[in-house]
Amino acid sequence: MNNTPPVCNYEGSDYQTSFWDEGGREYEDRAEAIALKRMLPKSGKLMLELGAGAGRNTPRYAGFEHIVLLDYSTTQLAQAQQKLGRSDPQGAAPKYIYVAADIYRLPFRDQQFDAATMIRALHHMADAPKALSQIRNVLQSNAVFILEFANKLNLKSILRFGLGRQNWNPFTLEPVEFVKLNFDFHPKAIRNWLEGLGFSIEKTLTVSHFRLGLLKRIFPAKFLAALDGLFQPTGSIWQFTPSIFVKAKVEEKSNTKANGVPFNVIELFKCPECNNQNLEEKNDHLYCSTCKAQWAIRDGIYDFRERTNKVV
Ligand SMILES: C[S@@+](CC[C@H](N)C(=O)[O-])C[C@H]1O[C@@H](n2cnc3c(N)ncnc32)[C@H](O)[C@@H]1O
């Protein structure tokens, strides 16, 4: 049975347009692009983008042969398809594979991916360690995981706390839910969770040093982002910005599995309900012969959120 934490629902949301395209966030977008470039491997085989949304960052992963865009919202994925192109999901793996699923219940076989990113999505996780452990399971030995998280220990929250204008303490390790299903995390808590799961942390970059309305009005986004780029490496010493990027690597284990690309897309998946690895491809769904679940394939999206048939 599905007893996972609640999901922050973006179904039908105009997030990409209202927050990014028309929301005055060119500076943040450019600063993130700089951080990603510093952390991404030049090339790779199979990338998992968690909470991909409308695919804002996906073109930045062009060095990868195949990219799985995973998001809970099918309308976000449909926007990503419009931007990146919709590929025929049947048969040999296309460049982009669209998957609607819950990060807490990933529908992938273990150790499939040689890289993963999660940008601006951890802040919706009420149980971050649970989400991170799901991600760890699907990564190969030596895989790279790039995680962005919202930092509770940012200058603004420290100031507000010091002035008595904020009732939560930015220095303590527990996450803070500042709006329903929106969480800020302490950098040390993130490090502890990642290391506890067998990741080693290779790089930490602080991002969005100049996220201030006044500065953004005075200076061009390109200039502010370039300046941000100069400061990002200070993340290895201290982290007081609202956004932090961490590059973590799965520590090598003896049971390294080779990644067999090109592959059949279906070989990526497992049944998220019973973990059966041998799903059968039917006309418009994947079928699990163990628990009899059917998982829809609709409009070029593999949908693992809810089985389409009743539990028998
Ligand atoms: C703030 S948006 C970020 C989108 C994209 N990464 C970006 O930076 O432009 C967060 C995304 O996470 C997705 N999301 C939230 N909770 C999720 C969950 N439990 N499983 C899968 N996706 C989730 C939402 O649907 C949304 O598209």
Q: pLDDT tens digits for 40-83? A: 999 999 999 999 999 999 999 999 999 999 999 999 999 999 99
Q: Where are the domains of the chain?
A: 15-303
Among candidate residues 86, 69, 71, the one with its CA nearest the CA of residue 13: 71
Q: What percent of the chain has pLDDT over 90?
A: 90
What is the rounded average pLDDT for all residues in the chain?
Answer: 94
Q: What is the pLDDT of residues 156-165, one digit of tens each?
A: 999 999 999 9
Give bridge partners of residue 247 from the DSSP assignment.
146, 203
Q: How confident is the model at residue 91 (pLDDT cuts 50, 70, 90)?
A: low
Is 186:172 a contact under the CB 8 Å cutoff? Answer: yes
Atom index in ligand 1 nearest the CA of residue 119 equals 6
Looking at 3.40.50.150, 3.30.930.10, 2.60.40.10, 1.10.10.60, the CATH number of the domain 15-303 comes to 3.40.50.150
Q: How confident is the model at residue 269 (pLDDT cuts 50, 70, 90)?
A: very high
Is 107:271 a contact under the CB 8 Å cutoff? Answer: yes
Atom index in ligand 1 nearest the CA of residue 4 equals 19
For ligand 1, atom 13, name the residue with the nearest CA.
51
Q: How confident is the model at residue 86 (pLDDT cuts 50, 70, 90)?
A: confident
For ligand 1, atom 12, name the residue with the nearest CA.
51
Name residue 285's amino acid.
Answer: H
Tell me the C-alpha distance between 271 and 304, whole Å: 8
For ligand 1, atom 11, name the residue with the nearest CA.
51
For ligand 1, atom 9, name the residue with the nearest CA.
56
- The Å distance, Cα 23 to ligand 1 centre, comes to 18
Pocket lining for ligand 1, CB < 6 angstroms: 7-8, 10, 15, 51-53, 56-57, 71-73, 76, 102-104, 119-121, 124
- The Å distance, Cα 312 to ligand 1 centre, comes to 32
| pTM for the model | 0.96
